[in-house]
Structure 1
Amino acid sequence: MRHRKKTVKLQRDAAHRRSLLANLACSLIEHGRIKTTVAKAKALRPVAEKMVTLAKRGDVHARRQAIAFLRQKSAVKKLFTEIGPACEDRQGGYCRITKLGARMTDSAPMAYIEWTDIEDMAVAGTSEDE
């Protein structure tokens, strides 16, 4: 039985999966919207929402927890100065996943994952050649 086994493994070991999710979260923070597979987007959403919850707390311990997971100080700074205050009045649901269809090369289902409250920043942060 798979009781209490919520983690999506993504065919990676634990260290690789943690690094992948941290890098995806940093890219989402930096660009506002990223294009990835549906499975990775669904695995990223709880991680990104926990990071926003830490940013809304805003204390030193929350900042250190975010740095410990993300390992990029510039991403943590943007998370705590821009994204956290923008999501201050929202109780949850900080990310939106929009399905796009299959990728041409291997038919993997693709999706955009973006912030819900920061639409103008998400559109401005991406380029059209993706």
Structure 2
Amino acid sequence: MQHLRKKRKFRRERNQRNALIKSLFDGLVLHEKIKTTEAKAKEIHSLIDKIINRAKEAQKKEKKVATIRLLSKVLNKSTVKKLSGKFIEKFNERKSGYTRVIKLSPRKSDNARMAIIEFV
């Protein structure tokens, strides 16, 4: 049963799902705006807050190197570099709500609900 389960599976195995989320996250950080399905956008929306808050905590404390190492295991190096530099300054006064999901019209080929996720 799906009671109290928060993560979406996207009809993929765990490794494929993690790779999909990682590539969506990398694309969003590098391009600051991506167009994807609504379910994927909502899933990334919750993860962005957690990762940016962790990077912000690392800036305040002396755990900066350890946190950057942890993030670099999960994300690409260019993403971690941009995340630990530009985004920390941009979202310094904000506590959450770093992204917005804008719903679009359905895709013509398969009628999937589409959305744009972008940084505020």
Normalising by structure 2, we get a TM-score of 0.89
Instruction: Confirm or deny: 8 A CA contact 2:55 2:83 kept in the other structure.
Output: yes
> Counterpart of 2:100 in 1: which secondary structure?
strand
Q: CA deviation at 1:2?
A: 3.6
Is 1:65 aligned with 2:76?
A: no
CA distance in 1, matches of 2:34, 2:87: 15
Select which of 90, 96, 99 maps to 2:100: 96
In structure 2, runs of 5+ residues without a counterpart are none
Task: Show the 5 A alignment for 1:10-89.
Answer: 10-57=10-57, 58=59, 59-70=64-75, 72-89=76-93
Q: Percent identity?
A: 37
Could you tell me whether the CA contact under 8 Å between 1:8 and 1:43 is conserved in 2? yes
- Superposed CA RMSD: 1.2
Q: How many residues align?
A: 115
2 CA distance for matches of 1:63 and 1:9?
Answer: 28
Query: Given that residues 55 and 84 in structure 2 are in contact (C-alpha distance below 8 angstroms), is that contact kept between their aligned partners in structure 1?
Result: yes
Once the two structures are superposed, residues 51-76 of structure 1 have per-residue CA deviations (whole angstroms, 9 ceiling, x without a partner) of 21122123112212211211x10111
Q: Is the 8 A contact 2:52 2:83 kept in 1?
A: yes
CA contact (8 A) 1:28 1:114 kept: yes
**Alpha-carbon separation, structure 2, partners of 1:27 and 1:104:** 23
After TM superposition, give the deviation of residue 46 of structure 1 in Å.
1.6
Unaligned regions of 5+ residues in structure 1, if any?
117-130
* Cα distance per residue 1:31-68 (max 9 Å; x no partner): 00000000110111122222211221231122122112
CA contact (8 A) 1:56 1:85 kept: no
